[in-house]
Every structure is written in C-alpha cells, then in structure tokens.
A and B are shown apart, each in its own frame.
Chain A
Amino acid sequence: MIRALGVRSRLIPNTLRRFGSSLVIVEHNNSNVEPITLHAISAAAKLGSVSCLVGGSKCSSVAEEVTKLAGVTKVLVTDEQCLENSVAEKITPLVLSAQSKLGVSHIVVGSSTFGRDFLPRVAAKLNTSPINDVIAILSEDTFQRPIYAGNAVVTLRSLDPIRCLAVRGTAFPPSTISDGPAASIESFPLPGAEALGSEASDLVEFVSVEKHKSDRPELTDASVVVSGGRGMKSGENFELLYQLADKLNAAVGASRAAVDAGFVPNDMQVGQTGKIVAPKLYIAVGISGAIQHLAGMKDSKVIVAINKDPDAPIFQVADFGLVEDLFKAVPTMIKLL
C-alpha cells in the first residue's frame, strides 16, 4: 500500500501542485467541531482549496457545521460506529484513502494531542516528513515552526510532494461562517480490508475516555487565562484563581510544578509539553517562569505576573508585574473587578 501511494503521489498533475489543495481532518466530539479545527481550516485556506474529512459516529451535525465555514468547498463524511473514538490506527487508512481520492497536496490538522497522534502515522505511510506546530505558511512548501521550547524559529522547505502539517491554533485566526454557498457533502466509505492491509486487524482497542469537566472556556481558546504555579501551595488554593477567572470569564491554567504537585489535573498544564495559549490577557500567579512554561504563553498579548520574588524570570516577559504575596493580591483583585 505504501508503494502504491508513493506512485500516486508522483502522478499528481502539476496544475494541482501549483494551486495547492488541502484536506483538513476535522477534530470533533461527534456533535461539535473542536475550535482548533477552525484555526486549521483558515491556515489551509492559505494554500488553496480546502476539503474536510469528518470521520466519526453519528457525526452529521459536525459535517453540517463544517460545510458553512469560509474556505471549505467539500466535506467528506465517514459515519461508522468504529470511528466513534478515533484511534490513530483506524483514522490513518481513512485519511490515506481520502488523500488518494482527492489528490490533495497538503494534509492539515490542528496541533492538538489528536492531530499530533495520527498525522506522523499518515506521513510515514506516504513516506513524507510531517511538520508539526506550524506557526506561519510562507508558501505552499515553506513554513515556520518553533523549536527549543519556542526559543528559536526555524524556516524550512518541505521537499515532499505531499505535505503533512499540524498547525498551531494560536497562530491562525479561526475560520468563520461563510456568506457564500455551503460546501457539498459527500458520504465517504471506509477503505476496504485490502487497502487496510495489516492495519485491518484489531491492533488496538479503545477502552475509555475520561474528560475533566469544566464550565469555564477552553484553555486554548479563552481570551483571558489565569494560571497558577507552585506558589499556590495547594489544590484548595486554586479556588482563589477560579474566583478570579469567573470574574474575567477566563480559563484556568497551571505550570508543570502545580501539576506535578497534584494541585490540578495535567490537561491544565501550559507550556512546551502542555498546551500553547495566546490569549489577550495572561495572568501568571505564583509562577516563576521557567523556559518550558514561557514556551506555552509568551505569545499572549498582555502578560501579568503576580509573584512575591522580585527576581522571578516571569517578570522579564511580563508587561505588568506586581511583586506581592498572591494570597493578598488576588483577593484584592477579585474585589476590584
């Protein structure tokens, strides 16, 4: 199968190559589109025409939602029980099959744990080098991405005929509802057992998923983020940040130190190995500002640091720094808002 696709990729007509075309793999929960996909679609639109693939179970509302988005011309829908909780092994053959049908030059996903999980698997099957965390699209083959926890930015050219990109959501605006006609919807079958090859066998079984419930905005999409670090001293004290967050309609994040200390769950972690955020306002409370944390938030528009240590590195990136005990400063701030 790898060989067959390799041949196909070389046969892509020049016209398609010149006018880039992309396939965006839609991330969703079977009823709603995840916001990161909206960012991925607007990034893909820079490359030419955009088709979307929605693989899931009872996901027709997701497909409908995607047809209305600006830049999308076609939506392929694969509605199968086995795709309810997409695992990389199951979604990879589906993506390969859709790529081969449409002959697109780019496969684009949002750089989330979902996108980064299967995209390299797809790329490997196409014998191309995937490119993660794209922050700028300079042309159809030239991209920028951060390396070394965001302390350097590399500009690179992909030499592959098909390019697999995971785009950083915060670097591209979200796609909005289009004024024009809705994109067409097409039902797309699961690839047959023959195309699946060894992937057809049950290599993997989905067991369960446990989502942390929160009424607050999504961390990666909030316009205000309040984060706590080791200085919070305990999980109970995070209540203070929740109160502040509620006043600001903000999401609550954390540094690795706070996660490792067990104050909050790991999916709240902001940083190189956690989530990347770029809100309008980021308030870092009791966070020293290690390189790994800064990697996740230094593109925020305005950064506020509240820390009692005047030498904390966080003050070097903060637009407004307040040297004060957070247990005094935060309650005062809540009262003032």
Chain B
Amino acid sequence: MSAGLRVLVGCKRVIDYAVKIRVRPDATGVVTEGVKHSMNPFDEIAVEEAIRMREKQLAADVLAFNCGSSKGQDVLRVALAMGADRAIQVEVDDPVSQKLEPLHVAELMEKIVNDEKIDLVILGKQAIDNDAVQTGQILAARLGWPQATYASKITKDGNFLTVVREIDGGSSTVKVKLPAVVTVDLRLNQPRYATLPNIMKAKKKPLTVKKLSDFGVELTPHIEILKVEDPPVRVPGIKVDSVETLVAKLKEKGVLPSTK
C-alpha cells in the first residue's frame, strides 16, 4: 500500500438538514417530493477527509459511492467537485431505494471494495434521515476488516491508522490495521465548498452508473415498515415575565429538587 491508499467514500443523498420534514398523511413515510435534498452532512466530512489524505499523498484514488435513485448522481457530482477522482452509483428504482437497509448498502459496498481493490472506506457515522449508525460497522464485519467509528482524528502510521474516537464520557484512541473502515464524527474536519471552476471540472470526471443486476445481488428485506407517524406533540407552554415567576411555577410543578 506504499503507492497510496485506494479510498472509497459513501455519499448518501438525504433531505437537507435544515428542512422541517413532514410525515405523509397515509403514514407510509415522509414527504420527499419538492423537498430540498443534499449530501448527508457526515458524508461531506468523510469526502473532505479522503481528499485531505489525497492532498497529503496518503491516498492515491478517491472513489465516491452512492446507492439510490438517479438523483443520487447530484451528490456524487458534489463529491467530485470537492475533489474526489471518480464516482460510482448503484441506481435503484425509487420504491426500492425507500426500502434500502444499511445491510443492503453494505452488501453492495462490499462488492465494490472487492472489485476496486479498496484499502480504506470512509463513511459518515450516521445518515440524518434514518439515524441508523450502522452501515460502516456492517461493512467492516462483512469484509472481516477492523472498524474505527465516530472518528475525530485520523493519522496514518505505516500500515495502521491511529484514530481518536468520540465516545460517551470522553474519547478513546485505537490503532487499526489497514485495510479498514472508518466512520467519521462532526468534529473531524470542516468540509470545503466546491468552487465554480471545480463544479465545471467535476462534470467531466468519470461517473459510472451500475444496476443491482450488475452485481448479481437481490436485496432481501429484513425489515418491514408498518407505519411512519408524527411524534407526540407537546402541549404549548407559556411565557413567564420574571425569574421569580419561573421559579414559583417550577416549584408548583414539583420539578425542583429540594434545594441544598
């Protein structure tokens, strides 16, 4: 691997984080038509990290991956404009893409890792739509590779990566042997903006579109979605005019512990 790592980065297209989502009246999902989508914020951090490794000549090739409807190609173009070398999409019909589970995405990524002789996979720690926090770990398990989740710092050390991980109560540091899967946390880096000239150049970079049949896989469902609903709504509260009233109200409610 001295010639530089071949890096695969995941790029999921999700409803933009700033959008207030709406649940469909028929309880089958959330409204996605006419809603702004963008690259999952954690995936932007993953792409940025891969590109920085490329700039430091630790990586030789950065391949951006998306699986979903044809619109997923938009987020791949963003990854290319940020600096990825090439992109691959596994295009599935919209109804299928709604039912993709992390297990399925990992299954496809495993094929691509093997086909493309990938040494390092960098993914976001979670997608902000299904909040699953799973794809990286499942992929690592399928490949029999080590995993480093919630990375806030990655350094290459010969044939190993030293990764600082954000965990409950603090941080931990692990050394994983390459090849490996890393999932990234918010504080790893600040993703760059794609500049206009780079957006133009990205249009000429290679983007391969594949179908499920190209991999000979059928995505067996493991989960059946019965319904999607609004969470319970909170009863509207009141505004109080002073700290005194606030403290009195809280005492009334009995939520203030006996004071020390």
Contact = CB atoms under 8 A, between A and B. Distances in A.
A159 B231 contact: no
B15 A148 contact: yes
B230 A267 contact: no
Contact of B249 (A113, A118, A247, A320): A320
A333 B246 contact: yes
Interface string B174-189: 1111001000011100
A198 interface: yes
A73 interface: no
B131 A132 contact: yes
A176 interface: no
Interface size class of A (residues with CB under 8 A): 35 or more
A273 B168 contact: no
Interface string B125-147: 11011111111111111101111
B103 A124 contact: yes
A52 B2 CA distance: 45
B128 to A, nearest CB: 7
Nearest to A337: B259
Given A157-B223, A210-B171, A320-B246, A120 B166 contact: no
B174 A147 contact: no
B56 interface: no
B234 interface: yes
A154 B168 CA distance: 26
A14 B72 CA distance: 43
B226 A152 contact: no
Interface core residue of A112, A113, A160, A247 (most chain B CB under 10 Å): A113
Interface in A129-164: 129-133, 142, 146-160
Interface string B148-174: 111010000000101000111111111
Contacts of B240: 320-322
A207 B173 contact: yes
B257 A203 contact: no
Interface string B224-236: 1111111100111
Interface size class of B (residues with CB under 8 A): 35 or more
Nearest to A212: B170
A145 B180 CA distance: 30
A301 interface: yes
A209 B170 contact: yes
B193 interface: no
B204 interface: no
A179 interface: no
Interface core residue of A114, A125, A266 (most chain B CB under 10 Å): A266
Interface stretch (A18-26, A87-95, A97-105, A230-238): A87-95
A203 B177 contact: yes
A158 B222 contact: yes
Contacts of A151: 20-21, 23, 230-231
Contacts of B135: 120
Contacts of A120: 102, 133-138, 141
B101 interface: yes
A336 B246 CA distance: 10
Interface string A310-337: 1000011111111110000100110011
Contact of B144 (A113, A154, A198, A337): A198
B7 interface: no
Contact of B222 (A89, A129, A152, A304): A129
21 contacts: A85-B172, A112-B168, A113-B149, A113-B168, A120-B134, A120-B141, A124-B139, A132-B131, A151-B20, A154-B225, A155-B225, A155-B226, A156-B226, A206-B174, A208-B173, A209-B170, A220-B168, A224-B255, A260-B186, A265-B170, A319-B235
Interface of A: 85, 87-89, 92, 112-114, 116-125, 127-133, 142, 146-160, 197-199, 202-212, 220, 223-224, 246-249, 256, 259-260, 265-267, 272-273, 275, 280-281, 291-292, 298, 301-304, 310, 315-324, 329, 332-333, 336-337
Given A117-B149, A322-B240, 14 more contacts: A112-B168, A149-B128, A156-B226, A157-B223, A205-B176, A207-B173, A208-B172, A209-B172, A266-B187, A267-B171, A273-B126, A281-B255, A316-B236, A320-B250
